[in-house]
Amino acid sequence: HRNRAASSVRLPRRSSAFTVRAEGGINPDVRKDEQKVVDSVVVSELAKPLTAYCRCWRSGTFPLCDGSHVKHNKATGDNVGPLLVKK
Amino acid sequence: HRNRAASSVRLPRRSSAFTVRAEGGINPDVRKDEQKVVDSVVVSELAKPLTAYCRCWRSGTFPLCDGSHVKHNKATGDNVGPLLVKK
Ligand code: FES
Ligand code: FES
């Protein structure tokens, strides 16, 4: 990971076994070394006719959706799902 | 809103002034009448060279990003941001 905040603030080293989750936060674990997680899709570079992008912040292949929203929804009663990008 | 669950389960009428949030859920208010909120972008129909899609579930223009992630991140210490789709 590249630490974007390194020049201004020294962030504590994170342990993968211990994640502090702020009250009301929605991203428990994705790239917490980045101040804001923004991803870009360049449409002309898409390989497949349909690509699913994660909006639940639980995917093991973030920013892609790997189906983890199903477990999250079941565990919490939530109703989130991916954004489908179609060529 | 179209109630997709109407044929099987009668959902309680929701008041906009009172939102029940499941423990650990990340979507407080977007289309809670839908069992799973999935959106599609058809790339050939994109109007602008860059479109930002919300992943914080707080946008007033969901599925588009309206900048609400800034307030969410500030309030909670979270670090979420949009998916940028570029033509
Ligand atoms: S895994 Fe996150 S939306 Fe599917
Ligand atoms: S308003 Fe939700 S990511 Fe920007």
CA distances from A3 to A10, A36, A56, B38, B83 (A): 9, 11, 23, 32, 20
pLDDT in tens, A34-67: 999 999 999 989 989 999 999 999 999 999 999 9
CA distances from A23 to A19, A50, B26, B73, B87 (A): 12, 35, 11, 11, 36
Contact A82, B38 (CB under 8 A): yes
Interface test with A, best of B43, B55, B72, B74 (most A CBs within 10 A): B55
Helical (H) or strand (E) element with B86: strand B80-86
Contact B73, B80 (CB under 8 A): yes
Question: Which residues of chain A lie closer than 8 angstroms to B68, CB-CB?
Answer: none
Q: Which of A27, A25, A52, A28 is nearest to A41 (CA)?
A: A52
Selected catalytic residue, list A32, A36, A48, A86: A36
- B8 C-alpha to ligand 2 centroid (Å): 32
Interface test with B, best of A26, A68, A71 (most B CBs within 10 A): A26
* Atom number in ligand 1 closest to CA A53: 3
Please give the Cα distance from A83 to A55 (Å, whole number): 7
Tally A–B CB contacts below 8 A.
Answer: 122
Asked if residue B21 has pLDDT above 70, the reply is no
Inform me whether the C-beta atom of residue A24 falls under 8 Å from chain B C-beta atoms.
yes
Name the pLDDT band for A12 (thresholds 50, 70, 90): low
* Atom number in ligand 2 closest to CA B57: 2
Asked if residue A16 has pLDDT above 70, the reply is no
Contact A35, A22 (CB under 8 A): no
Write b or e for each residue in B59-81: b if 16 or more Cβ atoms lie within 10 A of its Cβ, otherwise e. beebbebeebbeebbeebebbbb
Question: Using the 8-state DSSP alphabet, how is residue B42 labeled?
Answer: E
**Residue A71 annotated in active site:** no
Question: Using the 8-state DSSP alphabet, how is residue A18 labeled?
Answer: B
The ipTM (two decimal places) reads 0.77
Q: Would you state the structure tokens that stand for residue A40, as one six-digit string? A: 């870009």
Selected catalytic residue, list B36, B48, B74, B86: B36
CA-based end-to-end distance of chain B: 30
pTM of the model: 0.77
